[in-house]
Amino acid sequence: MAFKVFSHLPLRVLLSLLVLSLAAIPVSAQRDRFSDTTDVVVVEVPITVTKDGQPVRGLTEANFEIKFDGKVQQIRSLEMIDLGPPASGPIDEPVTPPIPARRHFLVLFDLANSDPTAIVRAREAGRDLVRSLHPSDLVGVGLYDNVQGIRFLLSFTTDRRQVDVALESLGVPGLFNPVADPLQLFLGEGTGAQAPQVAPPGSEEAGGGRAGNLDALASEQIRNLVTAAAQLDRFESGKRVERLADSFQAMAQNLAAVEGQKYVVYMSEGFDSSLLLGEGTDSLATTAAIESGEIWNVDAQQRYGDTSLQNDLERMLESLRRAGAVVQSVDIGGLRAPNDAGGRPDGKDVLNSIAQDTGGELYDDFNDLGDAMGMMLDATSVTYLATFQPRALPVDGKYRRLKVKLKDGPRGAKLSHRSGFYSPKPFAETGGVEKQLSSAQLILDEQDSGLIDLDVLAPSIPVAGQKAYVPLLIEMDGPSLMQATGNKQQLQLQLFTYAFDQEGRIHDFFTEAVAMDLSQVGQALQSGGLKYWAHVDLEPGDYRVRVLVRDLGSGEYGVRSAHVTVAANGSALLPVMVADAPGAWVMARESASRQRDVPFPFLSGGQPFIPAAKPVLPKSGKTDVIVQMYGLDDASSVSAHVRDLDGNPVNAEAELKVARMESVGASTIGQGTLKTKGLDQGVYELVLTAPGAGESRIQVEVQ
């Protein structure tokens, strides 16, 4: 099918000619795809070993023994991840551990058991902690109150800017422009061009002006959230403790879905320990009743504590231990305003108990939380990630206990590991927050994985005076989609895409739902696949774009990365492009509200084409290709070479010859051939370079 178009037509018009319009299809009943057992589960066990509070390095598989179901398991692999400073000299690249070995910190503010002014001032303590963390550490922010329980304001993320937005806006939701991110990785920017800067402690701004006004606003908003009366009788206080325990249990269930080391930094003043332990001393009335033999007049709860609350607290602690979550309690009572100190019972004993019973510590009387927790950070800076594969593990979501033993280690060494794990469960039985956290974790991981086979093309198109337009062509292999779907009548997908810079900050994202009637497109999908056209807008810089496609019925997914470079001078060299055959894909596009009014970017000989995200090349032979440049006018200066997926040069030929060049708008487009010779079958990276334009790269499949 031929198209007669002109380069000045907007992309939204041209795509209407190229894209199959897909109407939304209502959700119907979904069928589980899980069998009774699975034989492919790999369990990853992060282990820390310390001696005298310092991490022990240099251990091997021979130093560990893992028992599961009473049987010693074969350790499939063991990797040591070291976040500490190098022994000598600088490191070439920052360490990015796999997700199961990374530390996750949830900074949790307890609004129900703390004075509002202490909460406001505790934000700076949270910043102190974040500043001391390793760049690979993930941070989330949460709130607890008596009405809504524990809720995440921000999912675990590497984006320190978003963490600061969450901390700064704590209790002042109207201060920022909120963004509807279902994974809660991106909250939005400040009302200005960027999130507000944090005033250094002791500076003029910290005591007044804008920062002081924000503190006053936050204090007022938090006071409105704390609806319970200041003075409560024991029964009402007990109900508050019940709600707290229930909320922590629900949070622990959600955290169980998160891989890696988990630390809950619990910012609170605690609650009256006599509710659990009793008052410790008898009142005059109780003493008189005992002496007179009138035992029925003795208030057992007041004397010995409430056994029901004790049981609630123990269930809460056990759920945290099972989730592998360590609570680091931070007593923020010292952060109250002086005139707010009266009338609140001392909750330090409860905070200490919660921390100690989960393997954490109580922090109080501190000036800098990062320094105070320095020993903990040092002790957990070395992690051994061990993996084993249990056989015939039931898909029932039940908890399975583990035992890890240190063999022939240093005398006096202390080993710490997760006490067990939850076996997989059907996706339909997974809660909403669990799904959110697990999807966010897939986005934040560095690895490409999943049953759904994806490829992503993400070229950078300069736009004068604006952010670069980066079209995302997301190709989903049809047979893998059909295998993954949890519904044989409809294909229901959720797409998530986030663009991260080199420091882990998010610069743009989108999420879209795609629904299709398989009676109409099933055959086309089975023979080809689905190609989805979306975009992100980016400033100059280097980015990693993560794309997650998840089937809403089965939970099966695919996740892939694409690297994007946006030049500061407006120049660009796009990856080598090979036109897809017409009709090769079922095509869909992003919603109209996200579309950007830009010229159609892919033209050759005056005709539009859709490039392949992963071109297919012969082992030896010629392929027709298109080379497109911005800010450059000599396509003959472009050269090509082949690397493996680890970035190593391949001993093979890749010769690019451009036969015809044309100017289309701001771009120069060359048509030519790519001659390859001496390649083996497999997947490679094809790299284009040109003087003054850097390089562009694309994965290619050699057949």
> Which residues sit opposite 695 in a β-bridge?
689
- Residue 102: which of 380, 376, 326 has the closest Cα? 380
**Cα–Cα distance for residue pair 459/457, rounded to 1 Å:** 6
| Last residue within a domain, chosen from 379, 412, 442 | 379
- Residue 587: which of 521, 492, 526, 527 has the closest Cα? 521
CATH number of the domain where residue 692 is located:
2.60.40.150
**Cα–Cα distance for residue pair 611/321, rounded to 1 Å:** 50
Domain membership of residue 408 (yes or no) is yes
pLDDT of residue 55: 95
pLDDT > 50? residue 321: yes
Longest alpha-carbon distance in the chain? 109
Residue 514 pLDDT class (50, 70, 90 cuts): very high
Looking at the structure, tell me whether residues 509 and 408 fall in a common domain.
no
Domains in the chain, number: 3
pLDDT > 60? residue 620: yes
- Report the percentage of the chain scoring pLDDT > 90: 52
pLDDT of residue 118: 83
Retrieve residue 686's tokens.
């094809």
Query: What is the mean pLDDT of the segment spanning 51-78?
Result: 94
Which domain does 42 fall in, by range? 37-84+387-425
Mean pLDDT of the chain: 81
Domain membership of residue 94 (yes or no) is no
Looking at the structure, tell me whether residues 307 and 416 fall in a common domain.
no
**Cα–Cα distance for residue pair 400/70, rounded to 1 Å:** 11
C-alpha 287: how far from chain center: 57
pLDDT of residue 198: 36
Cβ proximity of 402 and 45 under 8 Å: yes
Q: Which residue type sits at 154?
A: L
Domain membership of residue 106 (yes or no) is yes
Residue 569 pLDDT class (50, 70, 90 cuts): confident
Looking at the structure, tell me whether residues 526 and 675 fall in a common domain.
yes
Residue 364 pLDDT class (50, 70, 90 cuts): confident
pLDDT of residue 241: 83
Question: Higher pLDDT residue, 175 or 371?
Answer: 371
pLDDT of residue 585: 93
Rounded (10°) angle between helices 160-168 and 116-132 = 170
pLDDT of residue 191: 42
H/E run at residue 365? none
Looking at the structure, tell me whether residues 23 and 45 fall in a common domain.
no
Looking at the structure, tell me whether residues 53 and 112 fall in a common domain.
no
CATH number of the domain where residue 108 is located:
3.40.50.410
Give rounded-to-5 percent helix, strand, coil for the chain: 25, 35, 40
Question: Higher pLDDT residue, 146 or 327?
Answer: 327
Query: What is the mean pLDDT of the segment spanning 64-73?
Result: 92
**141-191 tens-digit pLDDT:** 999 988 788 999 999 999 999 999 898 887 665 555 567 899 999 988 754
Q: Cβ–Cβ contacts within 10 Å for residue 682, how many? A: 13
DSSP 190: B
Question: Higher pLDDT residue, 24 or 668?
Answer: 668
pLDDT > 70? residue 40: no
Looking at the structure, tell me whether residues 530 and 492 fall in a common domain.
yes
Rounded (10°) angle between helices 234-255 and 307-322 = 10
Cβ proximity of 268 and 247 under 8 Å: no
> Which residues sit opposite 54 in a β-bridge?
51
Residue 3 pLDDT class (50, 70, 90 cuts): very low
Looking at the structure, tell me whether residues 445 and 468 fall in a common domain.
yes
Q: Which residue type sits at 445?
A: D
**Cα–Cα distance for residue pair 431/258, rounded to 1 Å:** 13
φ and ψ of 353, to 5 deg:
-65, -45
Please calculate the CA angle 128-132-134 and round it to the nearest 5 degrees. 145
Domain membership of residue 562 (yes or no) is yes
Looking at the structure, tell me whether residues 417 and 541 fall in a common domain.
no
Cβ proximity of 483 and 476 under 8 Å: no
Query: What is the mean pLDDT of the segment spanning 104-116?
Result: 90
Retrieve residue 361's tokens.
């510590």
pLDDT of residue 225: 58
Poorest-pLDDT segment among 166-180, 243-257, 285-299? 285-299
Domain membership of residue 336 (yes or no) is yes
Residue 256 pLDDT class (50, 70, 90 cuts): very high
Domain membership of residue 191 (yes or no) is no
pLDDT > 50? residue 513: yes
Looking at the structure, tell me whether residues 252 and 277 fall in a common domain.
yes
pLDDT of residue 457: 96
Looking only at the bridges linking them, the beta strands covering 54-55 and 261-268 are: unpaired
**Cα–Cα distance for residue pair 603/626, rounded to 1 Å:** 9
Which residue pairs, CB below 8 angstroms and at least 24 apart, start in 565-569?
A: 565/460, 565/541, 565/694, 565/696, 566/460, 566/462, 566/468, 566/470, 566/538, 566/539, 566/540, 566/541, 566/542, 567/460, 567/462, 567/540, 567/631, 567/693, 567/694, 568/540, 569/631
Domain membership of residue 167 (yes or no) is no
**Cα–Cα distance for residue pair 270/196, rounded to 1 Å:** 30
Domain membership of residue 195 (yes or no) is no
Residue 104 pLDDT class (50, 70, 90 cuts): very high
Query: What is the mean pLDDT of the segment spanning 248-270?
Result: 93
Query: What is the mean pLDDT of the segment spanning 349-362?
Result: 91
Looking at the structure, tell me whether residues 372 and 418 fall in a common domain.
no
R_g of the chain, CA atoms, integer Å: 29
**Cα–Cα distance for residue pair 224/147, rounded to 1 Å:** 12
Poorest-pLDDT segment among 114-128, 409-423, 472-486, 563-577? 114-128
> Which residues sit opposite 473 in a β-bridge?
457, 533
Please calculate the CA angle 477-479-484 and round it to the nearest 5 degrees. 95
**Cα–Cα distance for residue pair 364/330, rounded to 1 Å:** 6
H/E run at residue 648? none
H/E run at residue 41? none
Poorest-pLDDT segment among 69-73, 195-199, 659-663? 195-199
Looking at the structure, tell me whether residues 251 and 399 fall in a common domain.
no
Collapse the DSSP code of 33 into the 3-class scheme (helix H, G, I; strand E, B; otherwise coil) and give the result. coil
pTM over 0.85: no
- Residue 396: which of 420, 418, 426 has the closest Cα? 426
Looking at the structure, tell me whether residues 593 and 477 fall in a common domain.
yes
pLDDT of residue 681: 95
Poorest-pLDDT segment among 31-40, 287-296, 615-624? 31-40
Please calculate the CA angle 172-175-178 and round it to the nearest 5 degrees. 100
pLDDT of residue 172: 64
pLDDT > 80? residue 212: no
pLDDT of residue 564: 93
